[in-house]
Structure 1
């Protein structure tokens, strides 16, 4: 294995110059730095991680807390893309990524104990079944730099899509398509859910619309089965909605399957909208109307903010970072005429 001395001899500079170039010191010329980095790659030189940790007081390890209520894990396209871009940016900056678990070998640990055991420089919290769980709160309240995706804590940097703007665009588009009876299956309690609900009701009010309380029901993010059951309840109402907004695109699959099993057509009989913009939903027929979240940018921004907090804590603010979203107009939301809105419901016809 090549050593730092081998690298200094190849480049014709001192060991200290090589060390400064590898560690990003600014008193080394850019050309010298480029030559040293190029030579390091050519001879396969890698800095000794233990020596680097002693010198910099950092381990260059980042923990990712990724717990879900259902065992979707990295099979979930939305979070898989986020974590892939997070990993790409972090490894490009010299950091290794490790998942935080309850078990390390035969030893059971809390999340915080695992962080301490691995001596992580920072932690990214993503896709938690319960952001209010005591163990997760312990990590957030610790001295470890933390970035959170899709939730807000006062003690951590939060990376979120602009959920209020996203729900505003989606709800207004549905209304512009003539819909007045709009149901919303929202996710479980979180800042994301709260902001989407606030925006949903704001847009309804701005358009002079009111909906029955039973049109707004709590589901579970990324759980198509639960959304399917809730959809059936909505369809069984005396006056069912003409459009159902799912909490996310995966859940929208359950909504659409239930509608079809009920003998109804999308969007001729009832419209459906999702949220996230995953590729699977865009392969459906009809193509799903949804809000696209920029998963690549979410992951990159989360890694960037966390590394800034690790390396420059005194100039990196603890704040919320909101990223733009975009409306994807699929064919799952159809146009509704006033005549169609005034038609008796299926159930009342049977009665």
Structure 2
């Protein structure tokens, strides 16, 4: 392994000069910096991460805890885009990413917090998980810097999709197209995301003077195409079926759309539908799904940047709750009623 001493011999300078040049100290001339850096690159020198950790008291490693109820992992269309943005932003600041597994996944029965300690993580981003789980709460209440995505805790920074206004925009669009019989298959009711969307759904319906029948409201797990298809059929079998169905998310909506097509019905001629998230596949569907495009780039970017702020500037970084708005994609699955 190439050391700074090896570089100093080749460059004809002291080890201290090599160290200063590699770390960008101002008391080293630009020509010397260039010589040292080029020589280090040619010799294949890499800084020792252990030495860096001892010097800075940081590992430059961020943890990501994400376990959705459908066990989708990195096939989760929405969150994989958030994670990609988080990764890019973290790497831009010199940090790596480590995925955290807990006692359910590990043979050594480590908790989430214990795993973080074991890996020496500087901080953690938590997304798409049961936030009421004991091990998650242990991590939240620890002294480790934490940023959550789409869930609020006191004294913790959270990056939130603006689900309230997103649902309002979607409902407004459907209403303006003449629909008054609007059904909603929502996600798991104990999720913060669901609560905001569902409350917003009822609020805007109330403002329009619409009385939403209880049978128009159904619950399905997010990304569950099978249950969403089943519930879609139940809604269509009602004596007074809806003219438009809102799905919990785009992926689950694929199951609902398939159920509609299996009945020989056409979208949106016979029944209108809309999703939520704006995943890639919705852009190539025929007809293209009406949905809310979430800004996954900003969700991931803000999560990484705010976590790094908490790590590097703990005394001056405030706890924040940041709302990230989505954008309505009108698509072609909502028909205009007379």
TM-score scaled by length of structure 1: 0.87
User: Is 2:64–2:125's contact at 8 Å kept on the other side of the alignment?
Assistant: yes
Which of 40-49 and 191-200 deviates more?
40-49
CA distance in 1, matches of 2:36, 2:192: 44
Tell me whether 1:54 sits opposite 2:54 in the alignment: yes
1:1-12 paired onto structure 2 within 5 Å? 1-6=1-6
Is 1:136 paired with 2:133? no
Deviation at 1:7, TM superposition (A): 5.1
CA distance in 2, matches of 1:157, 1:136: 15
Give the secondary-structure state (helix, strand or coil) at the position aligned to 2:121. coil
Alpha-carbon separation, structure 2, partners of 1:186 and 1:316: 36
User: Which deviates more, 4-13 or 326-335?
Assistant: 4-13
What does residue range 297-312 of structure 1 map to in structure 2 within 5 Å? 297-312=298-313
User: What 5-or-longer segments of structure 2 have no aligned partner?
Assistant: none
**Equivalent in the alignment of 2:93:** 93
Q: Assess if the C-alpha contact under 8 Å between 1:249 and 1:275 holds in 2.
A: yes
- Please give the residue correspondences for 1:177-256 in structure 2 after superposition, counting only pairs within 5 Å: 177-188=177-188, 189-256=190-257
Partner SS, residue 90 of structure 1? helix
Q: Aligned pair in 2 of structure 1 residues 33, 134: CA closer, same or farther (>3 Å)?
A: farther
Q: CA–CA distance in 2 between the matches of 1:184 and 1:45?
A: 58
CA apart distance, 1:303: 0.8
Whole-angstrom distance in 2 between the partners of 1:96 and 1:88 = 10
Segments of 5+ residues of structure 1 without an aligned counterpart are 338-351
For residues 37 and 226 of structure 1, the distance between their equivalents in structure 2, rounded to whole angstroms, comes to: 62
Give the CA deviation at 1:218. Answer: 2.1
> SS of the residue aligned with 1:314?
coil
Residue 167 (structure 1) aligns with: 167
8 Å Cα contact 2:249-2:277 kept in structure 1: yes
C-alpha displacement at 1:22, in angstroms? 5.2
Q: Is the 8 A contact 1:21 1:36 kept in 2?
A: no
Q: Which moved more, 1:188-197 or 1:234-243?
A: 188-197
1:79 alignment partner in structure 2:
79
Aligned 8 A contact 2:70 2:222 in 1: no
Q: CA deviation at 1:69?
A: 1.6
Alignment-derived partner of residue 290 in structure 2 = 289
Listed one character per residue, the Cα deviations across residues 121-157 of structure 1 (whole Å, up to 9, x for unaligned) are 10111221x2211111111111111111121122421
> Which segment is superposed worse, 56-65 or 89-98?
89-98
Residues 113 and 293 from structure 1, CA distance in 2 versus in 1: closer, same or farther, beyond 3 angstroms? Answer: same
Residue range with higher mean Cα deviation, 134-143 or 38-47:
38-47
- Taking structure 1 as reference, are residues 105 and 226 closer, same or farther at Cα in structure 2, changes over 3 Å only? closer
SS at match of 2:315: helix
Change (3 A) 1:186 1:34: farther
Aligned residues of 1:182 and 1:243 also touching (Cα < 8 A): yes
What's 2:117 paired with?
116
Tell me the residue number matched to 1:345. none
1:18 touches 1:36 (CA, 8 Å); kept in 2? Answer: no
Aligned length: 335
CA RMSD for the aligned pairs?
2.5
User: 2:330: which partner in 1?
Assistant: 329
CA shift in 2, pair 1:230/1:50, >3 Å: same
Greater mean alpha carbon deviation, residues 101-110 or residues 225-234: 101-110
